[in-house]
Structure 1
């Protein structure tokens, strides 16, 4: 627990008060983070990142949604990931964008394979 959070909880005397207020603080923090994550997901671009780093970063943002109690659908993660790619990836983007129920692992594999073939 951070000192800042601990300081906010010092004046509670029962376990029940402590628990309820800890939950309230966590919930408030989660709500504020849920408001930030969509922007991060929307504005993330691969640019000069390695493909593996880009994919890990996108998955990390999606995992943060889960931790904040607002998971996103895999299709949404894939769409944002594809939107963050440069024009050199247009061929694979066109192929993947219309696939329904594409698992994240398969999308990653296709993107990595495309990158390897280009190199």
Structure 2
């Protein structure tokens, strides 16, 4: 027994009192740990993690909760926590997954979300290539959007010709 635990049982006279005190103390700490882990599961966001990394992290937290509680969390409950931590760019997949009849496996959900992740990365790469490939067109578009008279002057020239 650690020194910190001894302080909790020094007032106990019988062994049964010691066991009861230690059991109660352990239950309180265990309950606090479960609440902390559930809070983490509810608030954890994907952020800059890949879908694969995010799923691993969420599954690890769920496993810790399972050990602390002594029962296994249902996959559909874990999936709701996972979907809740995704950004708006995954909304189309979230709608598909939550609108389905029947349950969806975590593996299937992960596959669908990874496909969306690849699409997002591809779109970002395309936009980046377009921006890097034609900087003068971007400057012209920037001037047109930010200077309302730029378009009016061109319209006046077109009308006179």
TM range (shorter): 0.7 to 0.9
More helix, by proportion? 2
d(CA) in 2 for partners of 1:98, 1:49:
25
Count of aligned residue pairs for this structure pair: 114
> 1:71 Cα deviation (Å)?
3.4
Whether the aligned pair in 2 keeps the contact of 1:74 and 1:103 (CA below 8 Å) is yes
- Structure 2, unmatched stretches of 5+, are 10-15, 122-161
Relative contact order higher in (CA < 8 Å, ≥ 6 apart): 1
d(CA) in 1 for partners of 2:18, 2:111:
46
> 1:29 Cα deviation (Å)?
2.6
Aligned partner of 1:93 in structure 2 is 94
Aligned partner of 2:84 in structure 1 is 83
Deviation string for 1:64-91 (max 9, x for gaps)?
A: 1101125322111111111111111111
Give the RMSD, CA atoms, in angstroms. 2.8
Deviation string for 1:14-51 (max 9, x for gaps)?
A: xx999877655543332111111221111111122222
Q: Larger Rg: 1 or 2? A: 2
TM-score by length of 2: 0.57
